Structure 1
Amino acid sequence: MELTFELAEKVLAAQPFSVLLGTRLTAFGDGAATLELTIREDLLQQNGFLHGGVLSYAADNAITFAGGAALGPDVLTGGFTISYLRPARGRLLRAEATVVHAGSRQATCTCRLLTFAGATDGFDHSADGSTDKGTLCAIAQGTVVARR
């Protein structure tokens, strides 16, 4: 069975932790997936930055959705690593994952985690009409395995 955007949205909605965080699927298909969540005060750590656990969750889930776009809906994370590049702050977190290589049972994916300072639609709409391209705060790589 192919994993469509609509089915992927239902899968995300069936994850209680994703619902708790308010995660949204904003792009899906062709071996890629993008998840977004609004950065709230209750998701920050003691220094006022987005907690690393939230970044890890977003990377893990985006990687698995991207892998599912290539392998089908019955997949699990096989493992992943994350590198934190700078403190994550802003109003929106975006996790953009893509499949680098997929076989019949396993996909290797990368994920870029970006924060946006402005509007929660992912673009900082400035007075001059320019948009914020986001701040890269972490990168991740992982494998996704089919359960068949």
Structure 2
Amino acid sequence: MSSIATEVLEAQPFSRMMGARITRFQDGEAVLEIPVRPDLLQQNGYVHGGVLAYAADNALTFAAGSVLGPRILTAGFGIDYLRPATGTLLRAVASTVNSSRKQALCRCEIFTVDAEGTETLCAAAQGSARLVDRPDPPD
């Protein structure tokens, strides 16, 4: 796993608040995990759809970044919620489907993981990220 991926994720205050961590980052692939906590649930006790969307967005973009480099932004993505998310952990597994010099198309499957380690697919997403031509943001 790349330390640059971990540094980029840790530089995002929202990602720190979510408790997200990168557990795989290699050519064309990324895995993002989020421990499920009570404050990430909606009124019926399921993981909020916004948390699933965050996981998809970041996993897709990290998978794209593994082939394009760190100077990218999400261009767009769509998500399908397949079943309510429960469990102790969310695992977003993303891979690059196609890439050019400036853009990458990626797919992501989001699983819930229960206390016994059993994975259940709860959402699927597809999206793209593209290189941005801009100076580094100010410190």
TM-score by length of 1: 0.88
Residue of structure 2 aligned with 1:7, choices 4, 7, 26: 4
Aligned to 2:32: 35
Instruction: Please state whether the residue corresponding to 2:50 is helix, strand or coil.
Output: helix
The amino acid of 1:146's aligned partner reads L
Residue of structure 2 aligned with 1:147, choices 124, 132, 137: 132
CA–CA separation in structure 2 for the residues paired with 1:81 and 1:93: 18
Count of aligned residue pairs for this structure pair: 133
Instruction: Please state whether the residue corresponding to 1:107 is helix, strand or coil.
Output: strand
Aligned to 2:55: 58
1:80 aligns with 2:77: yes
Q: CA deviation at 1:101?
A: 0.2
Q: Which runs of 5+ in 1 are unaligned?
A: 119-123, 125-130
1:136 aligns with 2:121: yes
Q: CA deviation at 1:111?
A: 0.3
Instruction: Please state whether the residue corresponding to 1:9 is helix, strand or coil.
Output: helix
Instruction: Please state whether the residue corresponding to 1:73 is helix, strand or coil.
Output: coil
Q: Deviations over 1:14-66 (max 9, x none)?
A: 00000001101000011110000100001000000000000000000000000
* Mapping of residues 12-23 of structure 1, within 5 Å: 12-23=9-20
The amino acid of 2:124's aligned partner reads I
CA–CA separation in structure 2 for the residues paired with 1:71 and 1:78: 13
Q: CA deviation at 1:117?
A: 1.0
1:110 aligns with 2:107: yes
Q: CA deviation at 1:84?
A: 0.1
Q: Which runs of 5+ in 2 are unaligned?
A: 134-139
TM-score by length of 2: 0.93
Q: Percent same amino acid among aligned pairs?
A: 54
Instruction: Please state whether the residue corresponding to 2:128 is helix, strand or coil.
Output: strand
Instruction: Please state whether the residue corresponding to 1:93 is helix, strand or coil.
Output: strand
Aligned to 1:121: none
CA–CA separation in structure 2 for the residues paired with 1:11 and 1:30: 16
